[in-house]
Chains A and B, each alone.
Chain A
Amino acid sequence: MSERGHFEEHCFVSGHTACAGCGQSMAARLVADVAGKNTIVTNATGCLEVFSTLAPQTAWGTPWIHSLFENAAAVASGVEAALIHLGKLDSIRVISQGGDGGTADIGLQALSGMLERGHDILYVCYDNEAYMNTGIQRSGLTPFDAHTTTSPRGTHSSGNPKQKKPLVEICAAHHIPYAATASVGNPRDVQTKVKKALDIRGPKFIQIHVPCPLGWGSEPVDTIKIAKLAVATGLFPLVEYEYGRLLRVTKLPSPKPVEEYLKLQGRFKHLLKNAAELKKVQEVAQKNIEYYGLNSKA
């Protein structure tokens, strides 16, 4: 297919340098394709930026701008303000996106400002649960007991001692029209939520769980399977908030044991022979299931 033809079909195209099995690249294309051509994207520094725009090449078929690590939401706020000034916001959508570090840690302040000011922007966080671009360091969204290069397992450590920052709740607490989680393991759900978000005016937030074979120590071929298991075990609940209220969740009538999820990933392999730690991770899933009512009949 010609380069032009390629861009005609997708807004984010192959030829970039993401690792095999990269969940983020798959999710980014799902988002870009739903958003379509009349979209301006602002991107935080991170894997997605690095593997999609190594000068002089780009994988983006929509106007796209990268500035810095922590300011994608602020740059997007400026883009939206400019579109209002130009009278073009009715026909052009603004998407801001970053990884978990760029969103939940260093970019949280700019994101909160963007949400609080009510800009008409969809912010997408591709959550691969660590600073993958710099070499798998722990972020605020790294899950409990995961081994990373800065939360390593050792004789005195079973990996990351903290639980994931409740990012979607933090965003929902701004009482924005829409805040949701999604998983690349369920592409249709991702696209439904992105479409729903883009049809709403005002600030929207979606956190997409995206496995990282390199950082998670998993097989590239297992990316979708692992993403599905994170949801099926209750470790990554799929939820939707509107104006600060939890309105919908993806139900789990019979949640799978967390071991099925953990055993496919090198970052958790130290847990498999440690019943006490395994129990703690199961408790994390159980808490999620209860908190969000994932197994309730209603």
Chain B
Amino acid sequence: MKQFLEGSWAFADAAKLCRPGVISAYPITPQTHIVEHLAQFVANGELNAQTINVESEHSAASVVLGSQACGVRSFTCTSSQGLMLMAEVVFNIAGMRMPILMICANRALSAPINIWNDQQDSVSLRDSGWIQMYAENNQEAVDLVIAGYKIGEKPRVMLPVMVCVDGFILTHGMEVVDMPTQEEVDQFLPPYNPPYKLDVEKPLSLGLLGGPDVYIETRYAIQKTMEDVLTILPEVGDEFKKKFGRESVRLIEEYRLDDAEVALVAMGSVCGTIKDVIDELRQKGQKVGLLKIVTYRPFPEAAVNKALAKVPYVGVVDKNISLGATGALYTEIKAACSHDKKISGFVMGLGGRDITKNSIESVFSQSKEKVNSCTFVDLHNDLLWEEFRV
């Protein structure tokens, strides 16, 4: 049913529809509304779950690790510093092959402390073994949560899933969302039935010490599984489309790329702005397009290569920066494409700096002018040392 909802409400509703048995989270802006709504669902008797109000994000992730290990579907969400505090557990959850689902309300990292949006938090944990998907809008986020559990819990996968939603822009934005019914979600998402769990009838030891004789195989197994996810995820996407009629669940989305001379590559809500700019520039006769990365881990290298094969100029929009190198997505797009392609990297929108249509237009034109690996966009020169000014 179509409803006009705040993002966080919609995400909480989506999580509720997946029937998690244990929810644990710690308050951090801009994630808070999601857990508040879930707590209210439980308080109203609309959701049969244990909500554990922990004393830190480290413990939030640890609680859902413990509950998921008992075979109970679990949910958590966080942002920014919270994700950083969780980082140790985030890696641990993937290594223990626990398909927990987390929503990351993307927010900048301190210092300076900043509660506004960029994607530095989740991008910094790209190596952790979690499947990472980035939502362009609230409908997509809802769909990725529901499909995320299904993908992660497949016995062939058993990996955790992070659904990344831009803080404030999506979490606090009001949009029309087509909410599936409980019946539909129950038909799509079977109850969690893991191949291994903590069970007194069949005692197992989980989380053993893995020395040099076993450790690297555990990493290899996750790497191979990630490769499989590149096939499994679109299959679930097809199932999802059949059931719900939407194409949200996919590796990439190509927008007016067919004949594009210049294409931007981006993740998350900025893709909406880019699509608007593309429509306007196309009306003026400019051949521009967008490659949206929905699934960032596993990285869909072959799909990216194919999608950009005929595009001579590419600009990569990064809402993160690997300081001392370039934006994270830029390096991966560059590695996925042929050497003769002109690929530029643009770092923008950090700490909530608005990405306007003008910024996007300028990035399109810069991508065609000169190749630069790491151009910061829309800097305020008056805040910079003279020698740093652009």
Contact = CB atoms under 8 A, between A and B. Distances in A.
A174 interface: no
A86 B207 contact: no
Interface stretch (A105-113, A184-192, A228-236): A105-113
A70 interface: yes
Contact of A78 (B58, B62, B92, B214): B62
Interface stretch (A34-42, A175-183, A275-283): A34-42
Contacts of A70: 58
B66 A112 contact: no
Interface string B86-100: 001100100010000
B198 A78 contact: no
Interface stretch (A47-55, A122-130, A219-227): A47-55
B210 interface: yes
Interface residues of B, number: 42
B142 to A, nearest CB: 24
A110 B24 CA distance: 14
Contacts of A53: 205, 207-209
Contacts of B53: 117
Nearest to B205: A58
B159 interface: no
A203 interface: no
B320 interface: no
A77 interface: yes
B50 A84 contact: yes
B209 A82 contact: no
B203 A60 contact: yes
B50 A74 contact: no
Nearest to A42: B66
A62 B92 contact: no
Interface residues of A, number: 44
Contact of B66 (A61, A75, A109): A75
Given A71-B59, A74-B59, A82-B66, A40 B208 contact: no
A67 interface: yes
B386 interface: no
B52 A81 contact: yes
A202 to B, nearest CB: 15
Interface in B48-83: 48-50, 52-56, 58-59, 62-72, 74
Nearest to B72: A82
Given A71-B58, A82-B22, A62 B203 contact: yes
Contact of A55 (B50, B71, B204, B210): B210
B63 A77 contact: yes
Contacts of B195: none
Contacts of B62: 67-68, 71, 74-75, 77-78, 110
A67 B59 CA distance: 11
A68 B200 contact: no
26 contacts: A53-B208, A55-B208, A62-B200, A62-B203, A63-B198, A63-B205, A68-B62, A68-B88, A68-B89, A70-B58, A71-B62, A74-B54, A74-B63, A75-B65, A77-B52, A78-B22, A78-B24, A78-B52, A78-B63, A78-B65, A79-B198, A80-B66, A84-B50, A85-B72, A92-B200, A113-B54
Interface of B: 21-22, 24, 48-50, 52-56, 58-59, 62-72, 74, 88-89, 92, 96, 198-200, 203-211, 214
